[in-house]
Amino acid sequence: MNKLTDRQRMVLECIRASIEQNGYPPTLREIGNHLGIKSTNGVNDHLRALERKGFLTREDMKSRTLRPVGMGPKSARPRDEDGMLEIPIIGRVAAGQPIEAIEHHAEETIKIDRMLVGGTRDVFGLRIQGESMIEAGIHNGDYVFVRKQLEAPRGSVVVALVGDEATCKYYYPEKDHIRLEPANSRMAAILVPKNDWRPTSILGVVVGVYRKL
């Protein structure tokens, strides 16, 4: 049996999610941006492996013809009729020192135009507690919208687990550690040794901020 690597599984899931959410497959560049793969050649390597193992088909090496095996064109979800997305607010996250892990049940929901979060549906909301991200325009009491993904580009704002606690910070992978950098010049970064950083440490990338007036 041809087993998939973790990265190949993530690429396949990215393609499936795009078809379900948007009605069409992603481009190579969109896959790379979503998974933090810098070159389209790197993305192509994973696509060729998925084809070789029988999990993916495409025509003439074109990305918009990507189709997971067993997933027909009619499996795409219809677009929301009013273009709006209802985002569940599932708890709070620290913009300061990490706080207790996020509660995974919806406290409330916020309905926004889906295009404000890049058109994706795989988004959840968190209430910010603390002031470590104020120089990025994220304040205590704000809501952040987070796109679920396990990898993130360097310098992006992420929600990450430090041990069993969650925090919102800039993400900088370094040689020996992960640096979670605040956007507050009065606060120090959180340094997580590479040995303590797990594949599931990133819960998602912040794609929007909502503030109640």
Q: Is 132 a catalytic residue?
A: yes
Q: Is 169 a catalytic residue?
A: yes
51: left (phi over 0), alpha (psi -120 to 50) or beta: alpha
CA 46 → CA 31, 40, 65, 166, distances in Å? 11, 10, 15, 31
From 75, 132, 156, 175, active-site residue: 132
* Tens-digit pLDDT profile for residues 123-140: 888 889 999 999 999 999
* Tens-digit pLDDT profile for residues 27-80: 888 888 888 888 888 888 888 888 888 888 876 555 566 778 766 544 433 344
Whether pTM > 0.75 for this model: the answer is no
Which H or E element spans position 12? helix 6-22
DSSP 116: G
Q: How many residues does the chain have?
A: 213
Q: Give the architecture (CATH level 2) of 84-210.
A: Ribbon (2.10)
Place of tokens 């025509």: 59
Q: Which residues contact 11 (CB under 8 A, 6 or more apart)?
A: 31, 35, 43, 46, 47, 50
Please provide the average confidence, as pLDDT, over all residues in the chain. Answer: 81
3-class SS at 184?
Answer: coil
Kindly list the domain boundaries of the chain, sorted by start residue. Answer: 6-75, 84-210
From 74, 156, 169, 185, active-site residue: 169
Contact status, residue 144 vs residue 208, Cβ threshold 8 Å: yes
| Per-range mean pLDDT, top range of 79-88, 103-112, 169-178 | 169-178
Contact status, residue 187 vs residue 206, Cβ threshold 8 Å: no
Q: At what angle do helices 40-52 and 28-35 cross, to 10 degrees?
A: 100
60: left (phi over 0), alpha (psi -120 to 50) or beta: left
pLDDT at 174 over 70: yes
CATH T-level fold of 6-75: Arc Repressor Mutant, subunit A (1.10.10)
